[in-house]
Amino acid sequence: MILIVAEKKSFAEVLAEVLKVKKSKGQYWQNDKYYISWCYGHLVELKNPDDYDPALKNWSYETLPIIPGTIQHKVRTKPDIAKSQFNTLKKLMNGNDIEYVICATDADREGELIYRRIHNMAGCKKPVKRLWCDSMENQEVEKALGNLKPDQDYDHLHEASHCRAVADWLIGMNGTRLFSTLHRNKLTVGRVQTPTLAMIVERDLQIENFVKQTYYTVHLQCGGLDGEGERIDDVNEAKRIQAVTHLQDAKILSVEKNIKNNNPPKLYSLSDLQGDANQYYGYTAQETLDIVQKLYEKKLMTYPRTSSQYITSEMRDSTLDVVPMAKAYCKFLGGISQEKINIDKVVDDKKVESHTALIPTREIGKSQNLSNLPMNEQHILTLVCVRLICAVDSPQQYSETIVVIESSGERDYPFKAKGKVIIEPGWKRLLDEYQGTLKSGKEEKDKDHVLPDVEEGQVYKGESQIADHLTSPPKRYTDKTLLDAMKRAGKEFIEEDTSHIGIGTEATRAGVRENDCGAGFERKP
């Protein structure tokens, strides 16, 4: 017999469907070849300080730091089913009829940690194979079952997750007790939570202490152009430049025209999707993660907790099949043709680590009742479909013109006029169409700004005037801008070729913001 251990019951149900194992009301299912059971998430966790020494139940400064000689684990007592489920898995894992175990927890380091803790706590000595799958589609699960790997291939993944968990424990337990005892009030400290909270507090202080300042620019109108000069902080200097340039000769020093490309966006990572879902629909990062998880469990989307923005070469053809399905789901794009789908732009095996980018699955072409999905799920599914369609479309091409003007009255203060003309809208026409469906009306289409035809050396009579401006305070963080800041944190101190920067992971950033950093945010409707 073979025992398969899933992380959640929902994935166990998919496995049962693929392997034709009859489901029952018990804590595992079986046929003549397989047992299938599940974990309810973390069934085994790190011990608390008072599990090592009952005296540590009372917090005091004198007992710090708490550093166990050997890190120990225990079976969770909550939810109520946890201990019973662990005992079920322990009995199955050590059964004489078990040939080997298939670890089918989520395909990430957290999933690996969940299984290894149970395996070790149960004293299991059976060989273990790893099922690695980014989708809950039956055909993808069936393919993954035919491509099992030895679980020792994932030892480093487990070690990384274990180290992160221990670091969280050491910092959280010691830091929280330290600050709480010093300040006589419970103050939680966390490896990710605390620096994130510090960024929010720093931004709040910047806003609170902000003092508006006036600055000036001088504008020069000539030949149908509006040339703008650089920022000037001194009003008297601005008045001087305006006076000496007004009604003086204005010469076209240069006319520079360039054809530029605005490349399509990359596919969604979880953080990028959370940012756009917040911008367009006001969903918090945690709400978006919860919605994506539901879509994943409904087999409509690939694995949620991903930091990648690419797919593997193995997924190239299947993703190519999904593009027209995604477009069919987005009925508002029905009138827009795509002459060429540039699928290879989103394929890069080297940039896919644990998981591929978030994309819809082939199920969106099979399901007939997608309109019956809850509205929040329709919103997120639409976002992911639009991003896939845009990512494989052609670049936007435009012509940019920069005209530099010199006034005879002040040759050291040049004026610039900029123009832009869309040549080929490319992927932007798709995004514009999507944004046109939104009720907010905040998104504006990319518009042309045509400059009059002028040539280098032409001289006009210039009219100048002063424009005054007020500096603005920094904006409060939204989910989108905080996630971006967390992803970039420490970038200036880290070498450019470092693969991972920032604080937190795709999976944990949402929880930190939701639970510990709720203040100091711009609220979205």
Burial class (CB in 10 A: 0-12, 13-18, 19+), 493: exposed
Non-local CB neighbours of 466 within 8 Å, separated by 6+ positions: 216, 217, 218, 219, 238, 239, 242
Buried b vs exposed e over 220-246: b needs ≥16 C-beta within 10 Å?
bbbbebebbbeebeeeeebebbbeebb
CA distance 385 to 426: 17
Residue 469's CB: how many other CB atoms inside 10 A? 11
Pairing of strands 459-461, 249-262: antiparallel
Tokens of 249: 């000769």
User: Is the omega angle on the peptide bond into residue 79 within 30 degrees of 0, that is, cis?
Assistant: yes
Tokens of 65: 């730091």
Beta bridge partners of 222: 225
Residue 244's identity, in one-letter code, is V
CA distance 312 to 314: 5
Burial class (CB in 10 A: 0-12, 13-18, 19+), 105: buried
Length of the chain: 525
For residue 52, give the 3-state DSSP assignment. helix
Residue 24's CB: how many other CB atoms inside 10 A? 10
Residue pointed to by tokens 């069936």: 142
Residue pointed to by tokens 């969770």: 76
Residue 488's CB: how many other CB atoms inside 10 A? 12
> Which residue in the list 28, 268, 303, 413 is annotated as catalytic?
303
User: CB of 196 within 8 A of CB of 285?
Assistant: no
Residue 400's CB: how many other CB atoms inside 10 A? 14
CA distance 519 to 8: 33
Integer CA distances (angstroms), 151 to 103, 110, 421, 433, in order? 8, 14, 56, 47
Q: Kindly give the interhelix angle for 479-488 and 509-516, rounded to the nearest 10 degrees.
A: 120
CA distance 259 to 255: 14
Residue from 376, 374, 359 nearest 277 by CA: 376
CA distance 12 to 105: 9
Q: Is 303 a catalytic residue?
A: yes
Buried b vs exposed e over 34-43: b needs ≥16 C-beta within 10 Å?
bbbbbbbbbb
- The residues annotated with a catalytic role in the active site are 303
